[in-house]
Amino acid sequence: MKQKNTSFFLTGLLFLVTALTFSTSVNAKRIVFGGGPAGGTFQVVANAIQVYGPIKKSGLRIKAQSSAGSVENLRKVNRGKSHLGVVYSGHVYLGRHGKLKNDSKKYENVLAVSYLYGAPAQLVVRADSGIESALDLIGKKVGVGNAGSGAFANCELFFTHLDIWNKVERNAMGYNDAANAFGNNQLDAFWLFTAFPSGAVIMAAQTNDIALIDLNRDAEESGFYEKYPYFDKLSVPAGTYRGVDTEAPSFQDSTLWVANAKVPDDTVYKLLSLIYTKEGLAHMVGQKKTFKEMSIESGVKGIVTPMHPGAEKFWKEKGLIK
């Protein structure tokens, strides 16, 4: 009996030490915030929160860390290698239920903190290419995003649904690299899954007359929305990019700020309290206009998975959840 009690005591002590170590690493050391690749909005989110004065003064040390994007962030946050990160709502949902492509693991330590902005799919082609649908990409050279990124995963999801994933010449690369390759005629098209305006598309439009494919039509005609209901319809407005004078119908996923389940509640609550103020939101918009979507009113939009307790407390106080 004494040996069993000792075993329970040691197990409990180990759990306590692990929890305290994690908590101490968050509060006293740096808090790793997983962003994304160069040229994408994920990294701007992490950088913006890292440099915000009131957060620095609060004693919280944010370290923005680049990554391949959404799926990599999901995995790193789940393991605790990143404390915070930016992940698409669809990937949080699929990961939690063990439904990611070729990955049945359940990522249950990733909890939602807030909605950031809508991330639309954008497929860039040359205006005179004759490509009017994703189905016209068969046999073409296509930039599909960095391997491990949300862009890559969603491109694979959509192209597989259309039965063209294995019928295009895929090139896994980041947005800026894809824009450069496109400008050098090394690609016929490139895919993005990021907020507009995208710096990479702006770059491409400086050297080529471009067009954006109507992805909503492809999605509707193929039953994509019925199979993946977390995607919403939207359009890239006319005039967003040079030479693109008509709106480009597409679809989007919600981009979420997430946290590892072991990040202390007061840390998450404090970060939200500092960012979701008039000054904090103005700071975010100053980093990129995309963040105009961030507001108290939209704080829990697109979240279909469990929230971090610190976030629950904050949004309950704001009257957004019960």
Give the span between the Cα atoms of 287 and 209, in whole angstroms.
28
pLDDT at 314: 98
pLDDT at 11: 44
**Would you call 98 helix, strand, or coil by DSSP?**
coil
User: In the predicted model, is pLDDT for residue 297 greater than 70?
Assistant: yes
pLDDT at 191: 98
Domain ranges of the chain: 2-117+255-317, 120-253
User: In the predicted model, is pLDDT for residue 64 greater than 60?
Assistant: yes
pLDDT at 26: 55
* Band of residue 206 on the pLDDT scale cut at 50, 70, 90: very high
pLDDT at 195: 82
- Say if residues 313 and 82 touch (Cβ distance below 8 Å): no
pLDDT tens sequence across 262-289: 999 999 999 999 999 999 999 999 999 8
Residues facing residue 259 across a β-bridge: 84, 111
pLDDT at 149: 84
User: In the predicted model, is pLDDT for residue 76 greater than 90?
Assistant: yes
Give the span between the Cα atoms of 228 and 248, in whole angstroms.
21
Residue whose C-alpha is closest to residue 301's, from 318, 287, 284: 318
- pLDDT, average across residues 111-129: 96
- pLDDT, average across residues 110-138: 96
At the topology level, CATH places domain 120-253 in D-Maltodextrin-Binding Protein; domain 2 (3.40.190)
The domains spanning 2-117+255-317 and 120-253 adopt the same CATH topology: yes
**Would you call 11 helix, strand, or coil by DSSP?**
helix
Tell which CATH classification among 3.40.190.10, 3.10.20.30, 3.40.50.620, 1.20.1050.10 matches the domain 2-117+255-317: 3.40.190.10
User: In the predicted model, is pLDDT for residue 179 greater than 90?
Assistant: yes
* Band of residue 194 on the pLDDT scale cut at 50, 70, 90: confident
User: In the predicted model, is pLDDT for residue 18 greater than 60?
Assistant: no
- pLDDT, average across residues 210-227: 96
Alpha helices, DSSP H only, in the chain? 2-27, 41-51, 53-57, 70-79, 89-96, 150-161, 175-183, 199-207, 215-222, 224-227, 265-275, 278-287, 309-317
pLDDT tens sequence across 19-61: 444 444 454 569 999 999 876 889 999 999 999 999 999 999 9
pLDDT at 16: 45
- Say if residues 233 and 198 touch (Cβ distance below 8 Å): no
- Say if residues 156 and 101 touch (Cβ distance below 8 Å): yes
Token look-up 């170590």 returns 21
Higher pLDDT, 219 or 9: 219
Cα-only R_g, the chain: 21
- pLDDT, average across residues 245-258: 96
Average pLDDT value for the chain: 91
pLDDT at 186: 98
User: In the predicted model, is pLDDT for residue 119 greater than 90?
Assistant: no
